[in-house]
């Protein structure tokens, strides 16, 4: 009778080991899937920003810039105009490049939003450079866990 108890114990142990192994494989697959999705999403975003219709890209970059500011707790105050917000952000960030600061970028974005003519490729490049610089600054200042969170959620 003790042989049957040992066999049941061994069967239960084997079942537990198999369940743990399957769980680990599933968790690894899920993490890998999230990783691949995130890498593709990031690459796709930057490609979209750099190619296609300049005006549409500038509008998308504007939304992304505002998400980046929201992550850093810098957001437009109630009834603050875009130009006022840009002045405040530039003062907070102390950007030395006067040709590529938020005030200049907001002028381009407003032109993209409200002008029938749209924006030029050079203007799109300026918005792209600013967006990339801001993204790099946010990522550089974020801790390891926050960086992972931002890459997945932005």
Tokens of 59: 């509008």
Residue-wise pLDDT for 81-102, tens only, equals: 888 888 888 888 766 566 678 8
d(CA 133, CA 86): 15
Confidence tier at 9 by pLDDT (50, 70, 90): low
The lowest-confidence range among 46-50, 91-95, 104-108 is 91-95
Q: Is 81 exposed, middle or buried (0-12, 13-18, 19+ CB in 10 A)?
A: exposed
> Model-level pTM?
0.77
pLDDT digits (tens, 9 = 90+) for 31-45: 999 989 988 988 889
CA dist 69 and 90 (Å) reads 12
Tokens at 83, concatenated: 């130009």
CA distance 46 to 17: 44
Calpha distance 64→45 (Å, rounded)? 10
């Amino acid at each position: 009778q003790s042989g049957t108890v040992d066999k049941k114990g061994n069967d239960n142990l084997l079942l537990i080991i198999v369940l743990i192994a399957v769980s680990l494989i599933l968790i690894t697959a899920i993490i890998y899937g999230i990783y691949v999705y995130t890498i593709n999403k990031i690459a796709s975003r930057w490609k979209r920003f750099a190619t296609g219709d300049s005006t549409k890209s500038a509008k998308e970059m504007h939304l992304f810039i505002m998400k980046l500011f929201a992550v850093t707790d810098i957001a437009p105050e109630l009834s603050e105009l875009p130009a006022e917000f840009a002045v405040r952000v530039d003062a907070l960030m102390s950007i030395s490049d006067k040709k590529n600061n938020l005030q200049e970028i907001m002028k381009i974005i407003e032109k993209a939003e409200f002008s029938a003519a749209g924006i030029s490729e050079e203007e799109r490049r300026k918005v792209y450079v600013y967006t990339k610089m801001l993204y790099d600054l946010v990522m550089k200042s974020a801790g390891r866990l926050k960086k992972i969170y931002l890459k997945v959620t932005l």
